[in-house]
């Protein structure tokens, strides 16, 4: 595996599981070389060498080994010494002189050994001074490396206790406003592939971002902006893109990008520690508030009350609120009417699964970015079989590239079939039946079969049910009375109405048409 690709996967793991360290590893640590057993990384500051060796090296080796699929060591080289291995661990025999990259001792106070001549303090404006005094880790015992919690360097202003990053000074104004969730700089409007399946959401998100530089042209009809659709279709990408746009063109604005989980956890902490004024000052003095996955607000009463009041205050100030969810506001369980009405008061923009053309473009762009030539028949094969989830599509591409590197084989159609056989099963020739169509529709929409065949009337059930009826009628040519019995309806006119409704929606609505075509492709590859 190419060590750049390996490091990209390591960063992805850290962003999901140790997000407080993601920005440090992403911006300040670089892979420099790799062999069969060892990955060499180089931080850009000497104190990061000591911290990684003393605190995080063991866990980093576990992460690298897990991704590589074999035991791997991690060596931490000093800046400008890419090939140099990490300094050795202290040995019983005295070393001639202390090395600057030696990890923090486990049994001695770091201040006790003789130190080199003091280095002049860095200017106060330097966010990462060349040398920072290491903390006394002896006081942390018996905690393990996984238990040691370091502060989020993006949120340094609110630190109250001494820490490793006490000496970081003032961060640039352009960075400090993006907290607490890290913003992926690769997720921009330029890298977002848009078409019929997501055009409304893309254009709306771009228009909202542009209000940062053209406030006079702001359209409050799009405030709030509510983007909904199944997981893995690019909703979070658009939130990152908005943040990156404002960061580039209007960095002075206060922007906060959080998940619903982060909002809830911070609220609970504020209630328990009697710091609600500080919490409200943080969330109600913003220019843009972006919240991911708001469907999880539905069952939490205290959270609903606080988000209701926060929403009202920001809206009254004509500040923008952008939210994402896997369903419409009216379909969020246990969400109060007053919140449903506020979430729906602006623009509700859908994102649907990508069509074949969009999938092809996504694959080609990914290949271009990595400098890989992807044969047209391979692109066609993947796009035809994996077209319900962009994240799954990119995962298949990454898997294909990784296998190609490992096996040192060119990417061909035969190679792609073998590499992706777990994601794209070999065609079995299964008979097309009503049950099979119903199962496929349920899998596509993520609904349970018993609910689709039940009498429930929520929109998230009715639409899949009608599409299943339409496909059974058009693909199998079954009679309406037969389908009435299969779908457990009282009257065959229900089936007739469903088929006519889907036909009309397909003629007018690109999202419905794309969904039906995507399910048809799934049926053909059985």
pLDDT at position 520: 84
Q: What is the CATH number of the domain that holds 396?
A: 1.10.8.60
Q: Is there a single domain that holds both residue 331 and residue 242?
A: yes
Q: Which domain holds residue 231?
A: 199-350
| Pair 393, 346 in one domain | no
Alpha-carbon gap, residue 141 to 137, rounded angstroms: 7
Residue range 142-147: average pLDDT?
A: 50
The answer to whether residue 55 is domain-embedded is yes
Decide if pLDDT at 465 tops 90: yes
Q: Answer yes or no: is pLDDT of 137 > 70.
A: no
Q: Could you tell me if 333 and 394 lie in one domain?
A: no
- Structural domains of the chain, count: 4
Phi, psi (rounded to 5 degrees) for 18: -135, 60
Q: Does residue 294 lie in a domain region? A: yes
Query: Does some domain include residue 224?
Result: yes
Pairing of strands 29-34, 38-43: antiparallel
HEC-encoded secondary structure of 252-284: CCCEEEEEHHHHHHHHHHHHHCCCHHHHHHHHH
Rounded Cα–Cα distance for residues 442 and 499 (Å): 17
Q: Which helix (H) or strand (E) holds 440?
A: helix 434-445
Average pLDDT score over residue span 294-317: 82
On whether both 238 and 325 belong to a single domain, the answer is yes
Q: 443: pLDDT confidence band, cut at 50, 70 and 90?
A: confident
Please indicate, yes or no, if residue 74 is contained in any of the structural domains: yes
Q: What is the pLDDT of residues 208-237, one digit of tens each?
A: 999 888 877 767 788 889 999 888 888 999
Same domain (yes/no): 450, 391 = no
DSSP string over 16-27: HH-GGGHHHHHH
pLDDT of residue 430: 58
Q: Within a domain: residue 69? A: yes
Task: Among 294, 322, 350, identify where a domain stops.
Answer: 350
User: What DSSP line would sit under 348-397, residue for residue?
Assistant: EEE-----HHHHHHHHHHHHHHTT----HHHHHHHHHH--S-HHHHHHHH
Q: What's 441's domain CATH number? A: 1.10.1750.10
pTM listed for this prediction: 0.51
When pLDDT is cut at 50, 70 and 90, the band that residue 104 belongs to is: very low
pLDDT mean over 392-413: 88
Tell whether 282 is covered by a domain: yes
Q: Is residue 376 domain-shared with residue 501, that is, in the same domain?
A: no
Q: Is residue 178 part of a domain?
A: no
14 and 81 part of one domain: yes
Residue 323 near residue 345 (C-beta atoms within 8 A) = no
- Is 164 inside any structural domain? no
Same domain as 490, residue 401? no
Residues 374 and 324 in one domain: no
The pLDDT assigned to 467 comes to 93
459 lies in the same domain as 512: yes
Higher pLDDT, 139 or 61: 61
């Amino acid at each position: 595996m190419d060590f750049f690709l390996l490091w990209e996967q390591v960063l992805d793991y850290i962003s999901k599981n140790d997000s407080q360290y993601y920005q440090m590893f992403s911006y300040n640590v670089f892979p420099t070389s790799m062999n069969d057993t060892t990955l060499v990384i180089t931080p850009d500051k000497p104190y990061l060498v000591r911290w990684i060796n003393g605190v995080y090296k063991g866990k980093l080796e576990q992460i690298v080994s897990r991704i590589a699929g074999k035991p791997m060591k991690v060596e931490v080289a000093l800046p400008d010494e890419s090939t140099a291995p990490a300094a050795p661990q202290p040995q019983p025999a005295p070393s001639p002189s202390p090395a600057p990259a030696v990890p923090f001792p486990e049994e001695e106070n770091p201040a006790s050994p003789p130190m080199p001549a003091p280095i002049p303090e860095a200017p106060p404006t330097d966010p990462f001074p060349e040398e920072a005094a290491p903390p006394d880790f002896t006081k942390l015992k018996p905690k393990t490396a996984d238990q040691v919690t370091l502060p989020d360097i993006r949120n340094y202003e609110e630190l109250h206790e001494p820490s490793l990053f006490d000496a970081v000074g003032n961060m640039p104004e352009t960075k400090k406003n993006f907290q607490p969730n890290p913003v992926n700089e690769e997720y921009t409007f330029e890298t977002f592939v848009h078409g019929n399946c997501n055009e409304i959401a893309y254009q709306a998100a771009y228009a909202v971002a542009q209000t940062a530089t053209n406030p006079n042209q702001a359209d409050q009809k799009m405030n709030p902006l509510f983007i909904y659709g199944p997981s893995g279709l690019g909703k979070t990408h658009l939130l990152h893109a908005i943040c990156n746009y404002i960061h580039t063109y209007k960095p002075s604005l206060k922007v906060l990008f959080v998940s619903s989980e982060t909002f809830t956890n911070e609220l609970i902490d504020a209630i328990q520690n009697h710091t609600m004024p500080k919490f409200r000052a943080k969330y109600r003095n913003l220019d843009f508030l972006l919240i991911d996955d708001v469907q999880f607000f539905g069952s939490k009463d205290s959270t609903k009350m606080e988000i209701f009041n926060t929403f009202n205050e920001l809206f009254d100030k004509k500040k923008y609120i952008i939210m994402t969810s896997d369903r419409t506001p009216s379909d969020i369980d246990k969400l109060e009417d007053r919140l449903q009405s506020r979430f729906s008061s602006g623009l509700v923009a859908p994102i649907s699964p990508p069509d074949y053309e969009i999938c092809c473009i996504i694959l080609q762009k990914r290949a271009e970015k990595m400098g890989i030539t992807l044969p047209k028949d391979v692109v066609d094969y993947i796009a035809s079989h994996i077209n319900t989830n962009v994240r799954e599509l990119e995962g298949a591409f990454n898997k294909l590239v990784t296998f190609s590197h490992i096996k040192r084989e060119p990417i061909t159609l035969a190679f792609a079939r073998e590499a992706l056989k777990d994601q794209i099963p070999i065609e079995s020739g299964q008979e097309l039946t009503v049950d099979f169509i119903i199962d496929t529709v349920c899998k596509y929409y993520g609904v349970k079969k018993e609910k689709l065949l039940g009498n429930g009337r929520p929109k998230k059930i009715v639409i899949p049910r009608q599409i299943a009826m339409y496909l059974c009628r058009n693909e199998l040519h079954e009679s309406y009375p037969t389908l009435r019995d299969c779908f457990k309806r009282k009257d065959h006119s229900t089936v007739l109405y469903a088929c006519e409704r889907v036909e009309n929606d397909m003629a007018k609505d690109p999202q419905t048409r794309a969904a039906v075509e995507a399910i048809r492709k799934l049926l053909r590859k059985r």
